[in-house]
Amino acid sequence: MIGAGLIVIGVGIGIGRIGGSAMEAIARQPEATNKIQTAMLIAAALIEGIGFAALFAA
Amino acid sequence: MYRLLRFILVVALLSPVVTSSVFANAEAHHGAPDKELTPEEQRDENNAFVKHHTIDSHDFGIVSNEETGTHIGFPLPVILWDGGLHVFMSSAFEHGEKVVESKGNYYKLEHDGKIYKTDEHGVVMTETSIDKETKEEIVHELKPLDFSITKNVFVTIFMCILMFFLFKGIAKSYKTGLAPTGAAKFFEPIILFIRDEIAIPNIGEKAHKKYMVYLLTVFFFIWFLNLIGMTPLGINVTGNIAVTFVLAIFTFLITQFTGKKDYWMHIFWMPGVPVPMKIILIPIELIGLVVKPFALMIRLYANMLAGHIVLGALIAAVYFFDAYLAKTAFLGLTFFMNIIELLVAALQAYIFTMLTALYFGSAAAVHEEAH
């Protein structure tokens, strides 16, 4: 139970940081929005993958 | 003003798509909405509802009503191997109530969806074996080998046939000219996107063509199956670990069998690194070889299954509360979750394809210059 909560915290922090830095990057260079968005989604999916795997193990 | 109208139009068009899953389950879930259920019964019913929508089953039930006992749907053939081949329709099971007799053996469909071997009175036959280490008796139930056409198998076959005819038709429509017509108008940008944004950046101009077949197939297969899972029919193919396991195995096998010399060099004898590090890297790379497709499997499976369970729980929560404010709040939440699930359907297909292309890229990579 506690393990599941910790996993979700970890995933939340990770994806939050990616989202945050993606926002900053877009603010600095609006022309690169598409590329940044793509990279952000890929990184988010990878982190969520680990999160789900851990969630099933817990 | 125009933008507001457009927003309202989109919401109005999307709401029947999304709330249909809520109301289609109204009949099945609560035959009489004003019947009072204790919280335990309510919870069991909710669990059964979510379970019905996420696990495989031996007949294609569309809507069923426990109150009046009507089931709309059709039975699927059951194919068992138990020393001999037994084939019969799953309607003989009558939804888990009857024991079926076939060539002298008796079979029963239990509540977990599996078929067990029983004697003529319906008692499951068991076999006791002695555990070698703890010397305890282990009793396990006998099951025949189950090769039936279940709901997931049926939908997968249907999807294969659908995709075959769809893309055959699209390919044929290009004979009359380069400009796309009909269904090709919708699919051409997507196919070009997979080629230009996923295949070529990861695999390279020269080698990407022979991998495009698999990449396109896997993308549309996962995307269409995810979308079918979003309908209220309760079909959950990609949320089944066996299906995603097979997809990951295909990716793994293709990577291994088309790996060039540079690929194997990178695993066993990484160039440009001092020898002690190379020895340490070998087990790490070998583990990575297996873990990467494994992660592909788990990612797709967990995303889809978790999405279905959450949606099922939210829909059940709509009926759980009596106050209409709570009901409306949960209905709105379900609406948003459904939109997010539509996004996740396409996104997971894209992620699977992109990571597969990445692995193909490392397999097909040929470095001309020295590291």
pLDDT at B369: 47
Higher pLDDT, residue B163 or B93: B163
Q: Which amino acid is at B219?
A: F
On whether any CB of chain A is under 8 Å from the CB of B348, the answer is yes
Percentage of residues of chain B with pLDDT beyond 90: 6
pLDDT at B65: 60
pLDDT at B152: 87
The residue range of the domain holding A22 is 2-57
* Residue B30 reports pLDDT greater than 60: no
- Inter-chain CB proximity B302 and A55 less than 8 Å: yes
B143-162 mean pLDDT: 86
* Residue B161 reports pLDDT greater than 90: yes
Q: What is the pLDDT of residues A7-55, one digit of tens each?
A: 889 889 988 998 999 999 999 988 888 888 878 877 887 787 778 778 7
B311-335 mean pLDDT: 76
Query: Where do the structural domains in chain B lie, given as residue ranges?
Result: 77-146, 151-364
Model confidence at B32, pLDDT cuts 50, 70, 90, reads very low
* Residue B35 reports pLDDT greater than 70: no
* Residue B228 reports pLDDT greater than 90: no
Provide the β-strand partners of residue B137. B130
Q: How far apart are the first and last CA of chain B?
A: 59
Chain pair A-B, CB pairs under 8 angstroms: 32
Q: Alpha-carbon distance B52 to A3, whole Å?
A: 28
Model confidence at B352, pLDDT cuts 50, 70, 90, reads confident
Q: In which region does residue A9 sit, left (phi positive, over 0), alpha (psi from -120 to 50) or beta (all else)?
A: alpha
Flag the least confident range among B100-104, B146-150, B178-182, B229-233: B100-104
Q: With contacts defined as CB-CB under 8 Å, which chain A residues touch B306?
A: 52, 55
**Cβ-Cβ contacts under 8 Å for B264 (sequence gap 6 or more):** none
**Other Cβ atoms closer than 10 A to B346:** 15
Contact call for residues B144 and B58 (beta carbons, < 8 A): no
> What CATH number is attached to the domain comprising A9?
1.20.20.10
Best mutation site among B347, B353, B359 for testing chain A: the one with the most A CBs within 10 Å? Answer: B347
Helix, strand, coil % over all residues of chain A, rounded to 5 = 95, 0, 5
pLDDT at A55: 76
Q: With contacts defined as CB-CB under 8 Å, which chain A residues touch B350?
A: 41
Q: Is the pTM of this model over 0.90?
A: no
pLDDT at B41: 74
- With CA atoms as reference, the chain B residue closest to A49 would be B299
Q: What is the pLDDT of residues B184-202, one digit of tens each?
A: 888 989 999 888 888 888 8
Closest-CA distance, B312 to chain A, in angstroms, reads 18
Number of domains in chain A: 1
pLDDT at B371: 41
Q: What is the pLDDT of residues B280-318, one digit of tens each?
A: 888 888 888 888 888 888 888 888 888 888 888 877 777
Helix axes A2-28, A33-57, angle to 10 degrees: 170
- Inter-chain CB proximity A53 and B295 less than 8 Å: yes
- Inter-chain CB proximity B306 and A49 less than 8 Å: no
Q: Which of B299, B303, B347 sits opposite A41 (nearest CB)?
A: B347
Closest-CA distance, B306 to chain A, in angstroms, reads 9
Q: Which of A41, A42, A56 sits opposite B302 (nearest CB)?
A: A56
Higher pLDDT, residue B8 or B223: B223
b/e map of B169-179 (b: 16 or more CB within 10 Å)? ebeebeeeeee
Q: With contacts defined as CB-CB under 8 Å, which chain A residues touch B340?
A: none
DSSP string, B117-135: EE-TTSPBPEEEEE-TTT-
